[in-house]
Amino acid sequence: MSLHINGSTVSLPLDTRVSLLDFVRDHLQLYGTKKGCNQGACGACTVLVDGERILSCLALAVQYEGRSITTIEGLANGSAPHPLQQAFIDHDGFQCGYCTPGQICSAIGMATEAKRGVPSYVSDDLAADVILTRDELRERMSGNLCRCGAHNGIIDAIREIMAAETLE
């Protein structure tokens, strides 16, 4: 049993109780994905599965056999950061940085949801095209908490990159 992570194929753990978060961090030594609450409340552990954002602390690794996982380590292009990583730097979208990998993975997954027309809690018209206003972005990113209060910079960074349509 195996899955793909950041372009590499890895064997899944024999212990079926291992969460995807613990598998990524403790078995693969990919420490970019962070453990905050470990109970689905903070978003620090967000990764992408076939392009969709999930909370890896609430997932068992074995559930993802054959799937493609992307962590923050898989986003950069060699030594060049992903455009959204650069935007977080440019807009002071972090202080301690603990939430940042989850924020960036979540924003990329969120952009895909918006392109598919998935409405949010604050969308007035469920059938209308999604317009990512600041309020929409705040709501769509509300599952990712920042204890340092860098939310304004985070939203600024996402807005800049979404305007340039380079999130993928």
- Please state the closest distance from residue 160 (CB atom) to ligand FES, in A: 18
Please state, in angstroms and as integers, the Cα–Cα distance from residue 126 to each residue in 13, 111, 150, following that order: 41, 17, 30
Q: How far is the CB of 57 from ligand FES (least distance, A)?
A: 3
Compute the distance between CA of residue 126 and CA of residue 63 in angstroms, rounded to an integer.
31
Indicate the angle between helix axes 151-164 and 83-90, nearest 10 degrees: 140
Cβ-based nearer residue to ligand FES, 6 or 19: 19
For ligand FES, the closer CB: 111 or 154: 154
Residue 38 interacts with ligand FES (CB under 6 A): yes or no:
yes
Applying CB under 6 A, the span of 22-30, 90-98, 109-117, 119-127 interacting with ligand FES comes to 90-98
Q: Give CA–CA dist 96/26, Å, rounded.
A: 22
State yes or no: residue 94 binds ligand FES (CB under 6 A): yes
